[in-house]
Amino acid sequence: MPPTNVEFVTELMEYSAHGALIQAFVMQALEQYAKRVAEADPAALDTPMVSGRAWHGCAVEVRDKLARRLGRNDPIPPATPLTQGR
């Protein structure tokens, strides 16, 4: 049975040929992707499997949590409430 996503990411973060540097890489990748998706129009993110508004909400949540964790002081635009639209 393949590992769950959580198990996969945990293994990636803990057992890399590049040591702890992998953790910085994964965190930066999360930050950059979340920022790009959070800046997008939620309607443009719609797919047959996932609501663009929900995907956008995930990005805003990750972006905001990472900003707090990393001590970013950048102004963060407010999230679009999930109750609007869909």
pLDDT in tens, 20-78: 999 999 999 999 999 999 999 999 999 999 999 999 999 999 999 999 998 877 656 55
C-alpha span between 10 and 82 (Å, rounded):
29
pLDDT at 81 over 60: no
Domain extents for the chain?
Answer: 22-72+79-86
Q: Do the Cβ atoms of 33 and 58 come closer than 8 Å?
A: no
Per-residue confidence (pLDDT) for residue 85, from 0 to 100: 47
Per-residue confidence (pLDDT) for residue 77, from 0 to 100: 59
Enumerate helices (H) and strands (E) in the chain, giving the number of each: 3, 0
Q: Tell which phi-psi region holds residue 19, choosing left (phi > 0), alpha (psi between -120 and 50) or beta.
A: left
Any idea what the Cα angle at residue 35 is, between residues 59 and 20, rounded to 5°? 90
pTM exceeding 0.95: no
C-alpha span between 38 and 29 (Å, rounded):
14
